[in-house]
């Protein structure tokens, strides 16, 4: 009787976990929707401070005090942003505009090619509606372009707002580099050491491995495709390299999304060139996955691929693109914290304040 009561209590607890988690996720999405801009600025500032802390430490190792190292790193960051904005940004905007103007004509040309393939299939009595499939695909692409055009216009009109946000992010990152360690140490002390120490260690480990490795691998792909696309005479090389590089930041599925999107866009103009682009990108991706990724990244989360997909979907639903970017390290942090609590170390001591890096 007692055993049956314990089993009933256990199943009751398990049954309540699902609704509670769902309610918390819904509340979190509503909270993020209300403070989305503020949370985005703070999150980007924290990530930037986390990454800039590495060169700050490098300057400290050569004898420069932390305050001076922070000023030097921030000035170098601002200079690099200014150089990129004045050199690459006009080229990217020009190529993006040209690409958007060229896609409707490419869609019309692709329809004519699909008509030829559809006639070929009909002559051989193949039960394939190539023309219908191509028409639906073209309609979807046109709708996405129509939705993207106002967003691009809004981006151009919101340049001043973007400049203000950029300045705000840099200023916040500066103060996080200065005072983030004290804040992080104080927050950890609000949590019982049994939970606070494993949570802090897991958070630092996952965010360190994820952002550092994903950014390095994304830079490799973006920079590697530029000479390859230039040799293949692919138009809009910088735009396509940016698409592939940004998509690489999304773990597990980003590579396929970026390469697939670029291949599809090129196929609208030249299917033979699109095949060469796909082969070249797959080769670079194999180099990235088999040679670079194991050394740079490793198995930093230990998550099952299915849980990675679930984390990405939850992150997309809760916080959009930003949610996708931080979903996997947050999921890895939760798993690492639970594992550390289940298998605790012999002693739990919160590290001294001076040894804690700024929050990620």
Question: Model confidence over 243-264: pLDDT tens digits?
Answer: 898 888 877 778 888 898 899 8
Q: Is 27 within the bounds of a domain?
A: no
Q: Is 50 within the bounds of a domain?
A: yes
Q: How confident is the model at residue 39 (pLDDT cuts 50, 70, 90)?
A: confident
Q: Is 106 within the bounds of a domain?
A: yes
Comparison of pLDDT for 291 and 68, the residue scoring more:
68
Dihedral over Cα of 54, 39, 315, 264: its sign: negative
- Interval 203-244: pLDDT, tens: 877 777 777 778 888 888 999 999 999 999 898 898 899 889
Same domain, 76 and 131: yes
Distances (CA, A) of 313 to 141, 307, 308, 319, 332: 23, 10, 9, 10, 15
User: Are 248 and 218 in contact, with CB atoms under 8 Å apart?
Assistant: yes
Same domain, 133 and 41: yes
Last residue of a domain, one of 139, 174, 190: 190
Shortest CA distance to 98 belongs to which of 235, 234, 271?
Answer: 235
User: If you ran DSSP here, which 8-state letter would residue 80 be given?
Assistant: H
Same domain, 136 and 214: no
Q: How confident is the model at residue 60 (pLDDT cuts 50, 70, 90)?
A: very high
Q: Is 294 within the bounds of a domain?
A: yes
d(CA 306, CA 292): 23
Last residue of a domain, one of 157, 190, 223: 190
Highest mean pLDDT among 46-55, 123-132, 306-315: 46-55
Give me the pLDDT at residue 344, please. 65
Q: How confident is the model at residue 278 (pLDDT cuts 50, 70, 90)?
A: very high
Same domain, 168 and 263: no
Residue range(s) defining the domain that contains residue 328: 193-347
- How far out from the chain centre does Cα 122 lie? 44
pLDDT of 351 strictly over 60: no
pLDDT of 49 strictly over 80: yes
Same domain, 75 and 178: yes
Shortest CA distance to 249 belongs to which of 47, 38, 33, 45?
Answer: 47
Q: How confident is the model at residue 300 (pLDDT cuts 50, 70, 90)?
A: low
Comparison of pLDDT for 95 and 349, the residue scoring more:
95
The share of the chain scoring above pLDDT 70, in percent, equals: 70
Comparison of pLDDT for 253 and 360, the residue scoring more:
253
d(CA 32, CA 80): 31
As a whole number, mean pLDDT of residues 170-175 equals 90
Q: How confident is the model at residue 275 (pLDDT cuts 50, 70, 90)?
A: very high
Last residue of a domain, one of 166, 190, 214: 190
Same domain, 225 and 305: yes
Comparison of pLDDT for 114 and 66, the residue scoring more:
66
As a whole number, mean pLDDT of residues 164-187 equals 85
Q: Please provide the average confidence, as pLDDT, over all residues in the chain.
A: 76
The share of the chain scoring above pLDDT 90, in percent, equals: 13
Structure tokens at 91: 């080229």
- Interval 124-144: pLDDT, tens: 666 655 555 555 555 555 555
Q: Is 28 within the bounds of a domain?
A: no
Structure tokens at 144: 């996405």
Dihedral over Cα of 344, 345, 351, 355: its sign: negative
Give me the pLDDT at residue 283, please. 93
Number of domains making up the chain: 2
Same domain, 259 and 175: no
pLDDT of 56 strictly over 60: yes
Comparison of pLDDT for 160 and 11, the residue scoring more:
11
Give me the pLDDT at residue 298, please. 52
pLDDT of 279 strictly over 50: yes
Q: Is 253 within the bounds of a domain?
A: yes
- Interval 84-119: pLDDT, tens: 888 887 888 788 777 777 766 666 666 666 666 566
Give me the pLDDT at residue 226, please. 92
Q: Is 266 within the bounds of a domain?
A: yes
User: If you ran DSSP here, which 8-state letter would residue 232 be given?
Assistant: T
As a whole number, mean pLDDT of residues 42-64 equals 88
Same domain, 85 and 231: no
Same domain, 40 and 177: yes
Same domain, 169 and 236: no
Q: Is 278 within the bounds of a domain?
A: yes
**Contacts from 238-243 at CB under 8 Å and sequence distance 24+?**
238/88, 238/91, 238/92, 238/95, 239/92, 239/95, 239/96, 239/99, 240/265, 240/266, 242/92
Same domain, 256 and 289: yes
Same domain, 186 and 79: yes
Give me the pLDDT at residue 147, please. 53
């Amino acid at each position: 009787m007692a055993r049956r009561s314990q089993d009933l209590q256990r199943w009751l607890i398990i049954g309540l976990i699902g609704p509670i988690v769902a309610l918390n996720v819904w509340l979190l999405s509503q909270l993020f929707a209300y403070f989305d801009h503020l949370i985005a600025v703070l999150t980007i500032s924290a990530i930037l401070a986390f990454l800039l802390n590495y060169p700050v430490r490098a300057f400290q190792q050569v004898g420069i005090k932390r305050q001076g190292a922070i000023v030097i790193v921030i000035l170098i960051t601002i200079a690099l942003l200014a150089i990129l904005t004045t050199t690459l940004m006009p080229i990217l905007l020009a190529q993006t505009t040209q690409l958007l103007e060229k896609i409707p004509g490419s869609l019309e040309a692709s329809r004519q090619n699909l008509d030829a393939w559809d006639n070929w299939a009909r002559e051989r009595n193949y039960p394939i509606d190539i023309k219908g499939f191509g028409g639906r695909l073209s309609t979807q692409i046109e709708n996405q372009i129509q939705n993207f055009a106002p967003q691009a216009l809004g981006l151009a009109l919101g340049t001043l707002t973007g400049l203000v946000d950029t300045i705000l992010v840099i200023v916040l990152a500066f103060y996080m580099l200065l005072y983030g360690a004290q804040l992080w140490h104080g927050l950890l002390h609000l949590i019982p050491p049994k939970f606070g120490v494993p949570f802090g260690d897991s958070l630092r480990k996952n965010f360190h491995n994820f952002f550092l490795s994903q950014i390095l691998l994304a830079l490799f792909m973006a920079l590697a495709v530029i000479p390859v696309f230039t040799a293949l005479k692919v138009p809009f090389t910088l735009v396509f390299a940016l698409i592939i590089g940004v998509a690489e930041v999304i773990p597990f599925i980003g590579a396929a999304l970026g390469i697939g999107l670029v291949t599809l866009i090129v196929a609208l103009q030249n299917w033979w060139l699109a095949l060469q682009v796909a082969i070249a990108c797959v080769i670079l991706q194999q180099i990235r996955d088999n040679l670079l990724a194991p050394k740079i990244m490793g198995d930093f989360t230990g998550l099952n691929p299915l849980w990675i997909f679930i984390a990405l979907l939850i992150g997309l639903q809760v916080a959009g693109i930003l949610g996708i970017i931080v979903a996997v390290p947050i999921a890895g942090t939760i798993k690492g914290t639970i594992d550390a609590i289940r298998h605790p170390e012999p002693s739990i001591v919160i590290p001294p304040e001076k040894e804690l890096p700024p929050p990620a």
